[in-house]
Amino acid sequence: QQQVKQSPQSLIVQKGGISIINCAYENTAFDYFPWYQQFPGKGPALLIAIRPDVSEKKEGRFTISFNKSAKQFSLHIMDSQPGDSATYFCAARGRSGGYQKVTFGTGTKLQVIP
Amino acid sequence: EPEVTQTPSHQVTQMGQEVILRCVPISNHLYFYWYRQILGQKVEFLVSFYNNEISEKSEIFDDQFSVERPDGSNFTLKIRSTKLEDSAMYFCASYRGLNTEAFFGQGTRLTVV
């Protein structure tokens, strides 16, 4: 019940195209859904996040769409650029006792080709 | 911008040896975590630490692992007797408080040979 399922495992998109990564969760106690971007040799860095009371959040070229009833959320990268090539992890944060814990998806390796 | 720092960036150790991975969380943060990422796989939770004690640990965090905050600034992960399958990137993360963002360090790549 703590799992976060992510797809696709890898994605190749042409420059200027839209990259879409999907995630699904089971635990309705999750209360915060961040997306992390990870470049090779670096730690995950927060990209954008959403709370379940909002259906969409947009920051620049990055948009999260959230469907609470379906327990699904997705990341859309508009006008994808080669610099966006990285691994993207969706995640869900929930309380565990009095503490919070982030559960990560399996990751999507995005390659944006010129 | 404040950041979580981890040392060393890469450690190679022989199987059966003890290793200590070090982290300096952001100074006003109160919650500390270790995560592990085996090459090409997802980031997995190991342990959370608050108020000088473990608050939660995963099934990965067995008796070979321990954490400590020895001096109020460093946060360490010790693996007593390393196994080949311990080879991974280990990330430290810290939070200021509940409902705040997690900041991750750049990781320590542990290679057990």
Q: What is the DSSP letter of B58?
A: -
> What domains lie within chain A, and their CATH numbers?
4-107 (2.60.40.10)
Number of H helices, E strands in chain B: 0, 11
How many domains does chain B divide into? 1
* Domain of residue B90, residue span: 5-112
Q: What is the DSSP letter of A17?
A: S
Tens-place pLDDT, residues B64-98: 999 999 887 899 999 999 999 999 999 999 988 77
Tens-place pLDDT, residues B9-47: 999 999 999 999 999 999 889 899 999 999 888 899 999
- Residues 39-98 (B) with a CB less than 8 A from some CB of A: 41-45, 48, 50, 55-56, 91, 93, 95, 98
Radius of gyration of chain B (CA): 13
Q: What is the pLDDT of residue B1?
A: 73
Chain B hits for A32, CB-CB cut-off 8 Å, are 99
Cα(B96)–Cα(B108) distance, integer angstroms: 22
Q: What is the CATH number of the domain that holds B44?
A: 2.60.40.10
Q: What is the pLDDT of residue A31?
A: 87
CA-to-CA separations, B2 to B70, B74, B76, in angstroms, rounded: 21, 15, 19
B4 pLDDT band, cuts 50/70/90, is very high
Three-class SS of residue A104? Answer: strand
DSSP letters spanning A84-103: G-EEEEEEEEEEETTEEEEE
Chain A hits for B55, CB-CB cut-off 8 Å, are 96-99
Contact, B22 vs B90, CB < 8 A? no
A96 pLDDT band, cuts 50/70/90, is low
